[in-house]
Amino acid sequence: MGTEIERKFLVREGPWREAAAETYRQGYLSTVKERTVRVRTINGKGYLTIKGISVGASRLEFEYEIPVAEADELLDKLCEKPLIEKNRYTLDHCGLTWEVDKFFGDNEGLIVAEVELQSEDQVFERPDWVAEEVTSDPRYYNANLIRTPYSNW
């Protein structure tokens, strides 16, 4: 069983823009509160991810690599629309990996940072470009951004 412990923050300008970016395209086969099933492509690889309900900053997560052609077909033909499109910038700060997502399309203008932790009470130093924490705000869940895109807030 896999558990993801992740905290999410809004982002200010900073050195994250200088990091290498990967382009993500993702969609959802299920977005019910109790579980989400996500399909994603990143740099020519496909992934299927199943996530449980969030309890605090934790939730169950299972991810499997699938053929990219199958991922593309699922995204194009079965996933809810609109798809999520974003660039992800990855950088280290004080021993932790931070992922900054800059969204496009209906979510243009939204930029969030995520950090995965070993425990919910883990102490960590925030980079100076990290702003307000939004971990508990469901509007920022990618699965919710397809129903209520950032441009409609």
d(CA 112, CA 96): 16
Average pLDDT over residues 123-129: 96
Alpha helices per DSSP H over the chain: 68-77, 142-145
What are 48-80's pLDDT values in tens digits?
A: 999 999 888 888 999 999 999 999 999 999 999
Residues in the chain, total: 153
Domains identified in the chain and CATH numbers: 3-152 (2.40.320.10)
pLDDT classification of 33: cutoffs 50, 70, 90:
confident
140 catalytically annotated: no
Q: Name the β-bridge partners of 42.
A: 24, 45
The phi, psi pair for 76, rounded to 5°, reads -75, -35
Determine which one of 28, 47, 64, 150 is catalytic. 28
Is pLDDT above 70 for 1?
no
Give the confidence band of 2 by pLDDT, cuts at 50, 70, 90. confident
